[in-house]
Amino acid sequence: MQHRERYNSGAKWESIVGYSRAVRVGDRIYITGTTATDEDSNIVGVGDAYAQTVQCILNIERALKHFDASLENVVRTRMFVTDICRWEEFGRAHGEFFRDIMPATTMVEVSKLIDHEMLIEIEADAEF
């Protein structure tokens, strides 16, 4: 089995659920579902789909930097949103970061996330 390197952001859910924010195995980085939280696990942009998407991507970028990678290494994103009717707000923020990178992506509606104030959760996969 290849060496596995983990990155933990310190979010309160990581130790409760038992997961890492990101895991690198070989040339691949897997970033777990990432929400719009700050360093103290407070939700950023309550009620604002665009702002929450931006914060999710900034959190993903922070995890990538831990592995000396960047958003340019992202090959796939998965967006889980609580209201698909707001897809343009989510999509506009995603596009501002990924328009030139053009990763494969998916956006699906879910009934709810771990906190009722969360509007979006994003997973990402990256490769070197």
In the prediction, which pLDDT does 13 show? Answer: 79
In the prediction, which pLDDT does 64 show? Answer: 98
Q: Is pLDDT of 1 > 80?
A: no
**Phi, psi (deg, nearest 5) at residue 89:** -65, -45
With vertex at residue 108, the alpha carbon angle to CA 76 and CA 92, rounded to the nearest 5 degrees, is 70
Q: Is 98 left (phi over 0), alpha (psi -120 to 50) or beta?
A: alpha
Task: Assess contact for 43 and 35: CB atoms under 8 A.
Answer: yes
In the prediction, which pLDDT does 9 show? Answer: 85
Task: Give percent helix, percent strand, percent coil of the chain, each to the nearest 5.
Answer: 35, 30, 35
Q: Hey, what domains does the chain have and what are their CATH numbers?
A: 4-127 (3.30.1330.40)
Q: Is pLDDT of 43 > 90?
A: yes
Which pTM was predicted? 0.94
In the prediction, which pLDDT does 68 show? Answer: 97
